[in-house]
């Protein structure tokens, strides 16, 4: 049987990984523990059942100290993979400039403070960084998100559409500190949404460049401000890079009589109270609230919330906004809910390249909704959304991989052309009825033919979790819901009773 160049490159990577692992005298389980992966994942990569990701390759290279050999095999595989798919919408990362979360970069300490004064919130973030990887770091990704009415998503979305957050009002400034020197950092926008910004902080300025080289440490600081009319009473920290210590301060006026509490969410636990209390002290006319934690898990989220009791308009508890159910939050984001006719209709195909402009507008809407979803819920299994779920009757969908190491996959006019005979059953959720989960059988591999922006068509193979996610979204484009795939008599499980929230699918 003839193998393709990309298959041979993946085999070379697996062989190189196995050679260095056995040379170090490590079992697959031991290597997985050192890398922070599930042991079955390492076994699948070595057994050629999973293709390597950049995150996996960087961690393996760092742990096994392979002098670049493992990384080189991955680069050879990755170049062939991108050459085959070559998605026009994706801008390839510049060599040596991108470090995915959890690989070589470590935050040894983060200090995050938020001060309310003069009808505005002033945020300052300091991160002590250590480059434990094998390549210089030349930029660092940060996020700014606002949510004026966190207990009323619909109202908040309408508010930010009418009053979008702008880069100009942020007055963003950033610095790198090293050995007593303080260098301003230039920055560049990556994503610009009404209520969400992603920004590259660049290790450079008009006077030159100052990369963070392997083995070096530096502190970066960035600050911005947002007016009270756009910033709701919450301050969230999300752990996207391995972090040794996280410290959070709220600085609020005593005269407002602030009451502060906190909640945390992780991939293994639903939202619950902070495990340690928030400490309050008074400094003159300011109330300072402090909280800290050591070694927070990756993808954990910690949210401080407050209310100013002296400024309450309505003290009647019965008139407080009700806590929104998951489906209410989805509906408020504009996600069409089960029962709508559009979810049962086949989507309209794009005529590409003639419809390219329309297709890009639809994909931009989908991407913006994914960004917003990311602030509302931790999707440990990955997440996808199809155009009909936003009331758009076009054949387009976006799928974000579970490990988040790659850009979301864009599917235009997709159709399954082949599927593996082997299948399994896993619980799925759907943004269009998010209050329930259902046990759904899916093939372990699907081959999908889909269109490029220029109208050409390619075939991409998806396996395991990605196969399930992609098949789910293609069902939406064909007018199906996952309940149509469930075995007769198998009931839906209310989300309150579902016990696998935060756990990835098992293969």
Which of helix, strand or coil describes residue 40?
helix
Reduced DSSP (H G I as helix, E B as strand, rest coil) percent helix, strand, coil of the chain, to 5: 30, 35, 35
The total of other beta-carbon atoms located within 10 Å of residue 399's CB is 25
Which of helix, strand or coil describes residue 406?
coil
169: annotated active-site residue: no
Give the CA distances from residue 79 to residues 37, 203, 359, 413, in Å, rounded to whole numbers and listed in that order. Answer: 24, 26, 27, 25
* Both tokens assigned to 442: 């899916």
Residues 6+ apart with CB under 8 A from 154: 331, 332
User: Exactly one of 204, 473, 497, 500 is catalytic; which is it?
Assistant: 473
Asked if 453 contacts 88 with a C-beta cutoff of 8 angstroms, the reply is yes
Which of helix, strand or coil describes residue 476?
helix
How distant is the alpha carbon of residue 349 from its chain centre?
29
Q: What angle do CA 470, 498, 336 make, to 5 degrees?
A: 50
Give the CA distances from residue 494 to residues 3, 297, 325, 436, 504, in Å, rounded to whole numbers and listed in that order. Answer: 45, 27, 12, 4, 18
How distant is the alpha carbon of residue 385 from its chain centre?
14
Give the CA distances from residue 1 to residues 7, 174, 314, in Å, rounded to whole numbers and listed in that order. Answer: 12, 55, 73
* Both tokens assigned to 264: 């945390």
Which of helix, strand or coil describes residue 451?
strand
Render the burial of 81-104: b for 16+ CB within 10 Å, e for the rest. Answer: beeeeeeeeeeeeeeeebbbbbbb
Q: Which helix (H) or strand (E) holds 164?
A: none
DSSP code, position 454: T
Query: Where in the sequence numbering do the catalytic residues fall?
Result: 473
């Amino acid at each position: 049987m003839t193998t393709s160049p990309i298959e041979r490159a993946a085999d070379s990577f697996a062989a190189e990984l196995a050679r260095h692992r056995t040379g170090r005298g490590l079992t697959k389980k031991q290597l997985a523990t050192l890398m922070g992966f599930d042991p079955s994942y390492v076994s699948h990569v070595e057994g050629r059942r999973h293709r390597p990701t950049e995150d996996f390759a960087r961690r393996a290279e760092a742990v096994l100290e392979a002098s670049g050999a493992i990384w080189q095999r991955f680069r050879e595989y990755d170049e062939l993979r991108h050459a085959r798919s070559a998605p026009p919408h994706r801008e390839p990362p510049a060599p040596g400039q991108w470090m995915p979360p959890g690989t070589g970069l470590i935050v040894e300490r983060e200090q995050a403070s938020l001060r309310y004064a003069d009808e505005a919130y002033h945020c300052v973030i300091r991160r002590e960084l250590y480059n434990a990887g094998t390549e210089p770091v030349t930029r660092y990704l940060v996020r700014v998100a606002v949510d004026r009415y966190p207990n009323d998503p619909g109202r908040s979305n309408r508010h930010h559409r009418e009053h979008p957050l702008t880069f100009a009002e942020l007055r963003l400034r950033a610095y790198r500190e090293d050995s007593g020197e303080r260098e301003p950092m230039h920055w560049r926008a990556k994503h610009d949404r009404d209520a969400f910004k992603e920004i590259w902080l660049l290790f450079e300025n008009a006077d030159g460049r100052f990369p963070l080289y392997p083995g070096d440490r530096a502190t970066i600081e960035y600050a911005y401000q947002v007016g009270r009319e756009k910033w709701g009473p919450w301050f969230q920290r999300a752990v996207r890079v391995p972090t040794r210590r996280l410290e959070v301060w709220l600085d609020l006026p005593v005269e407002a009589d602030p009451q502060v509490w906190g909640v945390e969410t992780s991939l293994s636990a639903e939202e619950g109270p902070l495990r340690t209390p928030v400490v309050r002290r008074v400094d003159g006319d300011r109330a300072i609230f402090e909280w800290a934690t050591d070694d927070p898990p990756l993808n954990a989220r910690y949210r401080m919330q407050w209310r100013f009791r002296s400024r309450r308009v309505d003290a009647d508890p019965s008139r407080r906004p009700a806590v929104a159910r998951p489906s209410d939050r989805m509906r408020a984001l504009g996600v069409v809910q089960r029962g709508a006719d559009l979810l049962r209709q086949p989507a309209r195909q794009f005529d590409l390249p003639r419809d390219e402009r329309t297709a890009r507008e639809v994909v931009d809407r989908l991407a913006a909704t994914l960004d917003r979803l990311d602030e509302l819920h931790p999707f440990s299994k990955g997440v996808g959304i199809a155009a009909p779920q936003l009331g758009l009757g076009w054949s387009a969908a976006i799928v974000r991989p579970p490990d988040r190491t790659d850009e979301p996959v864009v599917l235009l006019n997709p159709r399954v052309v082949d599927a593996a005979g082997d299948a399994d059953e896993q619980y799925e959720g759907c943004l269009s009825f998010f209050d329930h989960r259902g046990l759904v059988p899916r093939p372990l591999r699907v081959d999908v033919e889909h269109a490029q922006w220029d109208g050409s068509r390619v075939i991409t193979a998806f396996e395991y979790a990605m196969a399930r996610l992609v098949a789910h979204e293609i069902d939406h484009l064909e007018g199906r819901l996952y309940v149509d795939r469930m075995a007769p008599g198998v009931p839906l499980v209310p989300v309150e009773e579902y016990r696998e929230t935060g756990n990835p699918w098992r293969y």
